[in-house]
Structure 1
Amino acid sequence: MTRVPAYLLRHRITVEPYAGDSAYGPQYGPPVPGVPALVNPTPRMFRTADGRDISAAATLIAAPDLDCPLGSRITLPDGRTTTAVAVARHTAPGLPVPACTEVTCE
């Protein structure tokens, strides 16, 4: 399986993996700065897994091994902080296309 080429991942983001809820609100793991990604900041409509229609603030492509569970906090290159509402891992075993992780941010 090939990976998305590193030279295509021009942006750097910070990911704080969602660790669950506590009595004080959502908890996050330690921030991982400098994660290579390709960020598309164009807003678009998106339907979440629970059927809500939201306006997605950005979509990003990263390496296939990105640790970004739903609900993770992501800081985009322009400084905006968003939340991961959908995470898709794209693979095509046996085909000459790169594997990657696509994250849609609220």
Structure 2
Amino acid sequence: MAVTMPAFLLPHTVTVKPYAGTGAYGPSFGRPFTIRRAYVEDRRRLVRASDGAETISETTVVVRPGPAIPAGSEVTVWPGTPAARTATVITSSTFDHPSAPAHVEITLT
């Protein structure tokens, strides 16, 4: 059984609109959902997107494993505050090891 990330390490809330594909009018998204246990860190770093291109990530979000958050999804950080903003998912990586807390790391534009 995987160890879960302790709640005290995940004090933030984020809202996710999962990417569902591209239609005739551009990208389409699934029903938005809220993750009440997250860690949001505004930190600029260079990441490699799924297509291999190097890009700059402005924010990293850590959540417990759960619903899929594919690249292209929209994530709103700091919802309900003056600092709220919506960014696009560059990568979503799952980390799962029997002796370490399982989590998903999401990099945002």
TM-score normalised by structure 1 residue count: 0.90
Deviation at 1:36, TM superposition (A): 1.9
CA distance in 1, matches of 2:64, 2:42: 18
Matched, 1:7 2:36: no
Aligned residue-pair number: 104
Among all aligned residue pairs of Structure 1 and Structure 2, give the percentage whose two residues are the same amino acid: 36
CA distance in 1, matches of 2:68, 2:8: 20
CA distance in 2, matches of 1:76, 1:30: 17
CA distance in 2, matches of 1:10, 1:24: 36
Deviation at 1:67, TM superposition (A): 2.6
Q: Who is 1:62 aligned against?
A: 63
Contact kept in structure 2, 1:15 and 1:35, CA below 8 Å: no
Q: Who is 1:102 aligned against?
A: 105
Runs of 4+ in 1 over 4 A off after TM superposition: none
Q: Who is 2:29 aligned against?
A: 28
CA distance in 1, matches of 2:102, 2:6: 9
CA gap 1:65/1:21 in 2 versus in 1, 3 angstroms: same
What do you get for the CA RMSD once the two structures are aligned? Answer: 1.2
Contact kept in structure 2, 1:17 and 1:30, CA below 8 Å: yes
Match of 1:92 among 78, 91, 97: 97
CA gap 1:100/1:67 in 2 versus in 1, 3 angstroms: same
User: What are the residue-to-residue correspondences of 1:43-82 with 2, within 5 Å?
Assistant: 43-77=44-78, 78-82=83-87
TM-score normalised by structure 2 residue count: 0.88
Residue segments in structure 1 that go unaligned for 5+ positions in a row: none
Letter of the 1:51 counterpart: G
